[in-house]
Chains A and B, each alone.
Chain A
Amino acid sequence: MKNSNVMTYVATACAVVVVVVFVTLVYESRALSYLSSDPKVCITCHTMNTHYATWQHSSHREQASCVDCHLPRDSFVKKMLAKSRDGYNHSVAMTFGTYGKNLRVTANAAARIQNNCISCHAEAVSQMHENSELYVKFDDKVSMGRRCWDCHRMVPHGRTKSLLSTPDNLGVKER
């Protein structure tokens, strides 16, 4: 009886430790900040510094933030699912260091981005949209069959966007 009492105390203490460590982890990783749509959240880790810097110097800066292009905008549920998916992939890559210096968008993200291009520039691409039925599909994952940025290569991050290419950008330090 006495022994199991001790065990209960130890177990409770362990549970408290778990909670404390968990809270510390949430705090240190700024986990809750990821619920926000502020572009600065995307540079919590240095991995996105270049993408932030190039966007900040682009014509999209005043019109579209990171999530406006990179996450679905048609439903909140889809947005949160995509955010969780990206968040999980990014966490794994950051923790195990499995990313290279030159990040590339996934097929899943490319499809979302393309939809967002089309949703803002609907008027401009309406005819293209119709015509696309008639043409070869280069990429059947994105609508219209060809990624917008295959041609509009500089939009919005430019072609030079490795993690080493914006060493002195000031915007990333402004938090």
Chain B
Amino acid sequence: MNKSMIVIVVSVVATVLMLLLLGSIQGNKADQAMINVVPNIKKLEPRSAEWGKYYPRQYDSYIATKESDKIDDVLKKDPNLVVLWAGYAFSKDYNAPRGHFYMLEDNINTLRTADPVDDKTGPMPTACWTCKSPDVPRLMAEKGELEFFTGKWSRLGAEIVNPVGCADCHDNETMRLSVKRDFLARALDAEGSAPFAKATHQDMRTLVCAQCHVEYYFKKTDWQDADGKDQTAMVVTLPWNNGLSVEAIEQYYDERKFSDWTHQLSKAPMLKAQHPGYETFKTGMHGQNNLGCADCHMPYVREGGVKYSDHKIGSPLDNIRNTCLNCHGESEEEFKQIVKRKLERKDELAFAATDAIAKAHFEAAKAWELGASEDEMTPALMDIRHAQWRWDFAVASHGGFFHAPEETLRILATAIDKGYAARLKLRDILAKYGAPGFEGPAFSNKAEAQELIGLQMDKLVDEKITFLNTLRKEWIQKASHSGKDIYDPKTEVKTFKTSYNAEK
């Protein structure tokens, strides 16, 4: 046998063996593809139950957010807030958030969204739906983002019928986490330090939450619709161009002379913080250590022989064993005490801030009444604006006291500082106009405070109930008979719970 023959034989044997191995690898790859196969769910399917058919554990735990059903009336806890928000709908009704299951229900029931009678009335823009439902990305995809952000809140009542759910965070083709609201990506890119395109899976475990748990405002945007008609959209925009800190965002709003409303008493150009959860979390110890929201709010849990991410999003304190104790060594009781103390510290400073700011609003109103000029008042009003913005930024995300205790207390300290700076300036003005010892009226509860700023609560509640019994019912009728397969009766909330209902 010559050399060529040897080469041929060895080659054939080697080729056959390698081809067999290649076949085996392809087989394993096919297995992997099979494991990763995703059920056939419609793109942006808004009904979570449709996803739940294939992911029953995740769906059941999501539905269990129902258990978080207590109405926690924040205005009742600190009536100063009624004064702080005089002239703004938050003074009527403001509760701490309940479980995700109730998002839509609470948005519809709150007195803030008031009592529209058709698709063109009511005080709120469509933007108020933005974070409430997977029907929002569906509509944005169907009609375009600007079209979605145009018109009144009531215009979309029959279209937005599912509480925030699967389609808000998951891609139907891969099940991977995906951000469905482009304003988040735009804001991350504008801020620049962590562009959206570079987000890892671990980043996404926070960013899907940051679609909503962030500070934003409604930016007036002119556009032309398909018929060439001029339209104005109120586009949810995250004010992150200068950075994520309270000062950077304050500067952003100041540069644009933006204000959410003019205060009813002080006439200050006010800002309302939304819920800057992401911004504060990033400054805290857990955020700094690259934890994601899902690490504590959606722990990996075991059910029989299967592990999955718990979709019952709520306080990690309800499940310390599977959250805190994954990394920490203290006992459950110790954890509860540590967090309780953090909350008390925040509450103490937050109350000091709202007390000072509420007094400043009354003092400013008195100064105007006595004839103070705009030039005299402006510096004090800017202090009020900044004080209230900072207090609101520190508390509005609800979890800030835990996510970033140092930052939260620091911001509250600056809020108190600015609040008293305003009061000092107002003291001078009041002294000049002959009221040196002026003190604002006293009030001891929510109802008194609301009366003081002239809110006719009974009327507001009656109008709301009328809306709920008429237009709201029509929306559900329309949605269930639209032929569009968007309404899921399982999402209906059976027990009517609101702050005003409980009082009545």
Residue ranges of A at the interface with B (Cβ–Cβ < 8 Å): 4, 7-8, 10-11, 14-15, 17-18, 21-22, 24-25, 28-29, 45-46, 49, 53-54, 57-59, 62, 94-95, 158, 160, 162, 164-174
Contact = CB atoms under 8 A, between A and B. Distances in A.
15 contacts: A4-B4, A10-B8, A11-B3, A14-B11, A15-B7, A22-B18, A45-B28, A46-B35, A58-B326, A160-B305, A162-B305, A168-B309, A170-B177, A173-B174, A174-B200
A171 B201 contact: yes
B306 A17 contact: no
B197 interface: no
Given A21-B19, A21-B22, A25-B22, A168 B35 contact: no
A14 B12 contact: yes
B300 A28 contact: no
Contacts of B226: none
Given A21-B14, A25-B21, A59-B327, 20 more contacts: A4-B4, A11-B3, A14-B7, A15-B11, A17-B11, A25-B25, A29-B21, A29-B25, A45-B32, A46-B28, A57-B299, A57-B300, A57-B307, A62-B291, A160-B307, A166-B307, A168-B55, A168-B57, A173-B174, A174-B201
A95 to B, nearest CB: 5
A28 B26 contact: yes
B65 to A, nearest CB: 19
Contact of A21 (B18, B31, B55, B289): B18
B24 A158 contact: no
A65 B11 CA distance: 40
B201 A168 contact: no
Nearest to A95: B24
A62 B8 contact: no
A144 to B, nearest CB: 21
Interface residue tally of chain B, by bracket? 35 or more
A160 B4 contact: no
Contact of A54 (B14, B22, B307): B307
B4 A10 contact: yes
A59 B11 CA distance: 50
Nearest to A9: B4
Contacts of B35: 46, 49
Interface of B: 2-5, 7-8, 11-12, 14-15, 18-19, 21-22, 24-26, 28, 31-32, 35-36, 55, 57-58, 174-177, 200-201, 289-291, 295, 299-300, 302, 305-309, 326-327
A125 to B, nearest CB: 15
A7 B5 contact: yes
Given A7-B2, A11-B8, A18-B15, A170 B25 contact: no
A21 B21 CA distance: 11
B206 to A, nearest CB: 14
Q: Which of B11, B35, B36 has the most CB of A within 10 A?
A: B11
A168 B39 CA distance: 12
B292 to A, nearest CB: 10
A11 B126 CA distance: 75
Contacts of B22: 21, 24-25, 28
Contacts of A62: 289-291
A21 B18 CA distance: 7
B307 A165 contact: yes
B4 A8 contact: yes
Given A4-B4, A15-B7, A54 B300 contact: yes
A158 B307 contact: yes
B201 A17 contact: no
A22 B15 CA distance: 8
Contacts of B299: 57
A77 B15 CA distance: 31
A25 B14 CA distance: 12
B174 A94 contact: no
A166 to B, nearest CB: 5
A31 to B, nearest CB: 10
The 9 closest A-B pairs by CB, nearest first: A14-B11, A7-B4, A57-B300, A11-B4, A11-B7, A59-B327, A174-B201, A46-B32, A18-B11
B294 to A, nearest CB: 9
Nearest to B290: A62
A17 B15 contact: yes
A169 B307 CA distance: 9
B68 to A, nearest CB: 23
Contact of A18 (B14, B305, B327): B14
